[in-house]
Each structure stands twice: as C-alpha cells, then as structure tokens.
Amino acid sequence: MKPSKTSKSWMQEHVNDPWVQKAKVAGYRARAAFKLIEIDRKDRLIRPGMVVVDLGSAPGSWSQIAAPLVKPGGQAFALDILPMEPVPDVCFLQGDFREDSVLAEFEKMLAGRAVDLVLSDMAPNMSGNAVSDDGRMMYLAELALEFSRSHLRPGGNMLIKVFQGAGFMEFRAEMQKTFRSVVSRKPEASRDRSAEVYLLGLDRKA
C-alpha cells in the first residue's frame, strides 16, 4: 500500500524531531523519556525505595527512567497488552489489566508491597477524528485511575497523560476526588500542536 501524505508528513517530522534524535543518542526507546525526566525533576516523583507501576509501558522508555531511580530498595513494574523488550531491573507483565486474571498475576508479582506511584503514558491509536480520539483517550485514562484507586497506597501519586478535549474537565474532577492535589504539566518534549497534557495526582486520599 502506498503511504499517504499524512503518514509521510508524520514520518518526516518524527525523523527530524530533535527529541527523537536525543533519545537515540541517550539510548532511550522513545522521546517520551524526556517528558518523564522533566516532570520528575520538577516534582521529585521517583525516589529510592519506591514501588512504581508503569501502565501501557511499551516500548519501555518510562520504565528505563524509573527503574534506576527507585534503587536501592525499590522496584519498577510494567504492564502492557503489547510485548516489550526486557528493561533491566523491571518486572514486566504482558496482558490486559482490565482482565481479572492479569490483575491477579500482577498482585502476585507485588507480593504484598504497596504501590507508591502509578505512571501512565497510554494513548489510543489515533484515527484523526477528534471526538473519537478524545473518547478513547478518556476511556484509557479512566482505566488507569481505577487501577490507581485499587492499588495505590494512601499518600501515593499518579502521573497520567490525557488530551485537552471532550471529557478533560470531568476526568480532572474525578482525579480530585481521589487525590488531595491535581496539577497539570506540559513538558518541553511534548509537541506544541499536541493536545496532550499530563495530570499529576498528589497524595492519594485514604
């Protein structure tokens, strides 16, 4: 099939993206690594001894950042429905966390440890239809929030990617029911034209 003009344009932008080039030099699997680095430097989210869960982790760039930062004494876990090449010191589970069997397997991996931080950089495959894309993005966000409500310890934090579109304010209000503070972050590595923004839920309510 002949590539469309849109896909050619995206590929050209991707190849020429300075953040993509920086990621290759640094050995990161995706440019998204720099988004987490910037937010972590600002908010000091990841610390030694923490248990961190990376939802929708493939290809693994956020896990690459988190794993060394929780040492010594901590552990990084990653879940994705897609396969992911191993990341040093990361416990990866492939599966759909909406399924009870996958959650049960994950809880075995946790071995009774409380989760300190949930990370989610998940996004749907984009269709180009803003209404459809916003809806699917909010669905993923709601799944991640529900996961946090079930597994995050009181006082724990969650960082999640969302789109500033339909359902954004409603979802932020839902986060405010769970966390004592909710702030937004737009890291430099996010493309200017992108509607993505990161919501940071701080201090999960008991």
| Angle CA 38–42–43, to nearest 5 | 115
Residue 192 marked as a ligand binder? no
Please tell me the distance from the alpha carbon of residue 153 to that of residue 116, in angstroms, as a whole number.
Answer: 6
pLDDT of the residue at 135: 80
Q: Give the pLDDT confidence score for residue 129 in this predicted structure.
A: 67
Catalytic residue numbers?
161
Laid out side by side, the sheet with 90-94 consists of: 90-94, 75-80, 51-55, 115-120, 152-163, 196-204, 179-185
Distance, in Å, from the CA atom of 150 to the CA atom of 171, rounded to the nearest integer, reads 17
pLDDT digits (tens, 9 = 90+) for 21-36: 999 999 999 999 999 9
- pLDDT reported for residue 67: 98
Q: What pLDDT is attached to residue 10?
A: 37
Name the residue range of residue 88's domain. Answer: 5-204
Q: Find the distance separating the first CA and the last CA of the chain, reported in whole Å.
A: 53
Mean pLDDT by 10 residues, the chain (206 residues): 44 67 93 96 97 97 98 97 96 93 93 95 74 81 95 97 91 97 94 86 97
The pLDDT score that the predictor gives to residue 11 is: 44
Is 60 annotated as belonging to a binding site? yes
Element (H, E) at 159: strand 152-163
Give me the number of domains the chain comprises. Answer: 1
62 carries a ligand binding annotation = yes
Residue 204's nearest CA partner among 166, 140, 153 is: 153
Helix/strand/coil percentages in the chain, nearest 5: 40, 25, 35
Q: Is 54 annotated as a binding residue?
A: no
* Contact in structure between 145 and 175 (CB atoms under 8 Å): yes
User: How distant, in Å, are the alpha carbons of 14, 21, 46 from that of 33?
Assistant: 15, 12, 14
Predicted confidence at residue 131, as pLDDT, reads: 64
**CATH number of the domain where residue 133 is located:** 3.40.50.150
Helix (H, G, I), strand (E, B) or coil at 201: strand
What's the pLDDT score for residue 197? 95
Whether residue 19 is annotated as binding a ligand: the answer is no
Amino acid at 116: D
